[in-house]
Structure formats: structure tokens, C-alpha cells
């Protein structure tokens, strides 16, 4: 038997054949238990492009990682909102979502500890460095030596020229010893000179 909000379980009939007594018991559903028990995991939930997503799903983890990149200055607010289809009200509402904030802080700490945050930041700066090198190369007021070094660095980054190990020459060493012949082939990569420059 059930009553509103409670499960009612009849007891066994007493020996004197009287009417059975009833007692009530409150049964917690798993959802209720998760929300009331201290320390129970609360994965949190967000709505992305109109679909509810938990933070522990693959999509949720990717969103949290992008939010962590936003706090590190690697992604702008506009880039995150555009990528995940968030309107301004949704973006502002994230500030009051405690599970999201906790997940973003944890992800940011993980990225800093693993060195991933520094690596991604360096990659972003390196991508912009080619513009600086191009400016040095084209600026006639810069000393010729610096312009040549800028050209070498640009050539190496572009992946062409002899400084690229993959563009080295194929070398074959053949040793004839009577009836036997030993052959060793390899790609000759760049050689570092005494002054430390690749040749």
C-alpha cells in the first residue's frame, strides 16, 4: 500500500484475528539520497545548445577545459560563447553555478600542475612570433645579422631548407670485403658547428 510520499507496509495479522496494524516507512530514492547525504558526488549540469549536459560527460569535460583556458587568457569570452552556442545570459549565469566553478578551478589547477597550460600559452605566443620575425626581416633599419637570423628561424619553422632534418641528404656507406658487402644507409641531418648554429 502506498500513501502520498510514503510507502505503507502492513504487518502480519495478530493471533487474536484483530485488524492488521499499519506502520509507515520513508524510502529514499537514489536521487534523494544523493542530494541529502553529505559528501555525495554532485556532477552538476549545464545546458549547451539547448541540451542538458553533465560536467562528467565528455562534452562537459571539454566545456570545462575551454572555461579553464578562458581563465588563463588563452580563449576570450566571445570565443567560448561562440564555440558552445551560449548567449550572454547563459554566460553570466555560469558565475552562479557552483559545480561549474569548482570543476573549472580543478581543471585549471590540473593544467598548471601538468604543464599543459604553459605549453599551450607558449604555442600561442610562438604562433605570433613569426609575425615579429617577418617584421625584423623586412625592416631595413635592423642590423643585417639580425635580419639573417630572422630569415634562418623563419626557414626552419616553415620546414624547408637544409636546417630541416627531414630535408637532409641520403648517405650510403658501402664496405666491400671480398665476397661480402655491407651497406648502411641513413639520412644526414643538420650538423651543429662549433658556434652552436645548425649547418
* Mean pLDDT along residues 147-151: 82
The 8-class DSSP code of residue 169 comes to: E
Q: pLDDT (tens digit, 9 = 90+) per residue, 43-66? A: 578 888 888 889 899 999 999 999
Q: Contact at 8 Å (CB) between 57 and 64? A: no
Q: pLDDT (tens digit, 9 = 90+) per residue, 63-112? A: 999 999 999 999 999 999 999 988 888 888 888 889 999 999 999 999 99
The Cα 199–Cα 197 span in angstroms is 6
Give the global pTM.
0.51
pLDDT score of 192 = 57
Instruction: Outline where the chain has alpha helix (H).
Output: 30-36, 58-71, 77-84, 88-93, 98-114, 116-138, 144-158
Average pLDDT along the chain: 74
| Phi, psi (rounded to 5 degrees) for 35 | -85, -20
Cell numbers given for 92: 553570466
Q: Contact at 8 Å (CB) between 116 and 65? A: no
Confidence of residue 145 (pLDDT cuts 50, 70, 90): confident
> Cell numbers 671480398 label which residue?
178
pLDDT score of 196 = 57
Domain boundaries, the chain: 2-36, 45-114, 125-187
Amino acid at each position: 500500500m502506498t500513501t502520498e510520499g510514503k510507502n505503507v507496509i502492513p504487518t502480519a495479522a495478530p493471533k487474536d484475528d484483530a485488524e492488521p496494524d499499519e506502520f509507515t516507512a520513508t524510502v529514499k530514492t537514489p536521487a534523494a539520497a544523493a542530494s541529502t547525504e553529505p559528501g555525495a558526488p554532485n556532477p552538476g549540469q549545464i545546458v549547451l545548445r539547448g541540451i542538458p549536459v553533465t560536467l562528467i560527460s565528455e562534452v562537459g569535460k571539454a566545456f570545462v577545459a575551454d572555461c579553464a583556458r578562458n581563465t588563463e587568457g588563452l580563449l576570450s569570452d566571445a570565443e567560448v560563447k561562440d564555440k558552445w552556442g551560449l548567449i550572454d545570459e547563459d554566460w553570466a549565469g555560469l558565475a552562479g553555478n557552483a559545480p561549474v566553478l569548482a570543476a573549472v578551478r580543478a581543471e585549471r589547477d590540473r593544467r598548471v600542475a601538468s604543464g599543459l597550460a604553459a605549453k599551450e600559452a607558449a604555442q600561442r605566443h610562438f604562433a605570433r612570433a613569426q609575425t615579429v620575425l617577418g617584421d625584423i626581416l623586412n625592416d631595413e633599419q635592423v642590423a643585417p645579422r639580425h635580419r639573417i637570423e630572422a630569415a634562418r628561424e623563419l626557414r626552419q619553422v616553415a620546414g624547408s631548407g637544409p636546417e630541416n632534418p627531414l630535408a637532409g641528404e641520403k648517405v650510403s656507406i658501402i664496405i666491400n670485403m671480398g665476397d661480402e658487402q655491407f651497406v648502411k644507409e641513413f639520412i644526414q641531418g643538420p650538423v651543429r658547428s662549433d658556434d652552436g648554429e645548425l649547418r
